[in-house]
């Protein structure tokens, strides 16, 4: 950001020269992240990073592949589709709220709304669609909203994430805010997200095998055996905050939406593969 540096020149005059610190652009961040993980895991195909721990651990991958014949989220996706297609009391459907009637759009979320000056995630858009049509908002972490989001993700499978950051200081600030959140230490354990997912992917932490930040949002919502159901990305954020004994923030809080903006931007170019399963 803008910094001011005082430069003393030979004449002894102190000049105040404003200059822009070489803050990396989001695109430079993304390229650096891709390079970093490529070097860390030279045998992993770049698109495979969307599979998180399964890209890095053969045993975990086998267990996962054996689930693919009867994925435990199948029923929820079918329910999500039904809810998506069932008209609201006013006769309209979710399709009326989205580009391309909501089919194959997951890869464009979250996006920055320049008139509202905030990050809009898919789940937020789903609830705003409901409220605009006279329906009650759904709870954010699981249940119906996860099923609808999972169905919408399934219609985008294979499409490359295409998160845009408009040339707008507030959009840039939202991205930077998410990035800062990712790198800030917190909780009794004093860990940042990066302590685990940037510094230690591919390592075990107790019974868990750590995934890299790259590709993380692509499988969401996921069905976790631990949950016994589908959960949204913000449910996972809250879980990771809890793991380091930091107070989780509410799902769809501005902080988590900005965090999702940063994290999903890092995955630009990688394919949507959600929903999926996780331990
Ligand atoms: C103490 C280590 C630790 C910290 C700190 C941590 N996580 Fe995690 N996270 C995990 C573990 C363990 C898992 C489950 C295994 C995996 O996928 O990495 C996980 C999973 C995830 C997943 C799901 C990945 C997938 O493929 O299913 C996301 C997204 C995630 N973390 C985001 C975050 C964010 C954002 C933060 C910071 C708020 C964070 N994590 C902080 C340990 C951590």
Residue where the block lists tokens 């809080």? 253
CA angle 175/180/184 to nearest 5° reads 155
How far is the centre of ligand 1, averaged over its atoms, from the C-alpha of 193 (Å)? 7
CA angle 28/31/37 to nearest 5° reads 135
**Are 249 and 242 in contact, with CB atoms under 8 Å apart?**
no
Length of the chain: 279
Cβ neighbors of 88 (< 8 A, separation 6 or more) are 130, 133, 134, 135
Tell me: pLDDT of 162 over 60.
yes
Indicate the pLDDT class of residue 22, thresholds 50, 70 and 90: low
Q: Which residues of 122-142 are buried (b: 16+ CB within 10 A; e: fewer)?
A: bbbbbbebbeebeeeebebbb
Look at ligand 1, atom 9, and give the residue with the nearest C-alpha. Answer: 240
* pLDDT of 202: 97
Please give the structure tokens belonging to residue 46: 């770049």
Indicate the pLDDT class of residue 17, thresholds 50, 70 and 90: very low
- Residue 42 burial (CB < 10 Å; 0-12/13-18/19+)? exposed
* pLDDT of 146: 98
Ligand 1, residues at Cβ distance < 6 Å: 52-53, 191, 193, 195-197, 205, 208-211, 216, 219, 222, 236-237, 240-241, 243-244, 259, 278
* pLDDT of 18: 44
Dihedral sign computed on CA atoms, order 14, 18, 19, 24 = positive
Reported as half-sphere exposure (CB side, CA atoms, 13 A), residue 22 has a value of 1
**Are 231 and 139 in contact, with CB atoms under 8 Å apart?**
no
Specify the ligand 1 atom closest to the Cα of 241: 38
The per-residue pLDDT for range 227-271, each reduced to its tens digit, is 999 999 999 999 999 999 999 999 999 999 999 999 999 999 999
How far is the centre of ligand 1, averaged over its atoms, from the C-alpha of 240 (Å)? 5
How far is the centre of ligand 1, averaged over its atoms, from the C-alpha of 262 (Å)? 15
Mutate to test the pocket of ligand 1, among 53, 190, 240, 255 (most ligand atoms within 8 A of CB): 240
Tell me: pLDDT of 12 over 60.
no
Indicate the pLDDT class of residue 8, thresholds 50, 70 and 90: very low
The per-residue pLDDT for range 39-63, each reduced to its tens digit, is 999 999 999 999 999 999 999 999 9
Specify the ligand 1 atom closest to the Cα of 215: 26
* pLDDT of 68: 85
Ranges 16-20, 199-203, 213-217, 222-226: which has the least confidence: 16-20
Average pLDDT for residues 117-136, to the nearest whole number? Answer: 98
* pLDDT of 69: 86
How far is the centre of ligand 1, averaged over its atoms, from the C-alpha of 18 (Å)? 39
Q: What CA–CA distance (Å, rounded) separates 34 from 236? A: 23
Residue where the block lists tokens 């004994």? 245
* pLDDT of 6: 34
Look at ligand 1, atom 31, and give the residue with the nearest C-alpha. Answer: 240
Tell me: pLDDT of 133 over 70.
yes
* pLDDT of 21: 55
């Amino acid at each position: 950001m803008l910094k001011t540096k005082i430069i003393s020149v030979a004449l002894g005059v102190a000049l105040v020269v404003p200059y822009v610190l070489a803050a990396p652009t989001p695109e430079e961040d993304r390229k650096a992240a891709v390079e970093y993980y490529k070097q860390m895991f030279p045998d992993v195909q770049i698109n495979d990073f969307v599979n998180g721990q399964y890209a890095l651990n053969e045993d975990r991958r086998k267990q996962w592949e054996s689930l693919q014949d009867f994925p435990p989220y199948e029923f929820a996706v079918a329910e999500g589709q039904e809810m998506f297609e069932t008209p609201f009391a006013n006769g309209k459907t979710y399709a009326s709220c989205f580009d391309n009637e909501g089919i194959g759009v997951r890869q464009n979320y979250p996006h920055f709304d320049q008139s509202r000056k905030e990050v809009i995630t898919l789940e937020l858009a789903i609830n705003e669609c409901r409220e605009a049509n006279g329906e009650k908002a759904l709870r954010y972490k699981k249940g119906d909203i996860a099923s609808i989001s999972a169905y919408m993700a399934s219609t985008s499978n294979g499409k490359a994430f295409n998160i845009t950051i408009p040339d707008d200081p507030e959009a840039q600030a939202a991205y930077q805010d998410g990035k800062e959140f990712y790198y800030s230490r917190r909780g009794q354990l004093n860990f940042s997200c990066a302590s685990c997912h940037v510094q230690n992917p591919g390592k075990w932490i107790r019974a868990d095998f750590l995934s890299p930040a790259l590709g993380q949002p692509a499988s969401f919502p996921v069905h976790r055996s631990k949950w016994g159901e589908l959960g949204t990305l913000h449910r996972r954020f809250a879980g990771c905050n809890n793991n380091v004994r930091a107070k989780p923030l509410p799902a769809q809080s501005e902080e988590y939406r900005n965090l999702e903006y940063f994290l999903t931007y890092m995955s630009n170019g990688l394919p949507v593969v959600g929903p999926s399963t996780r331990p």
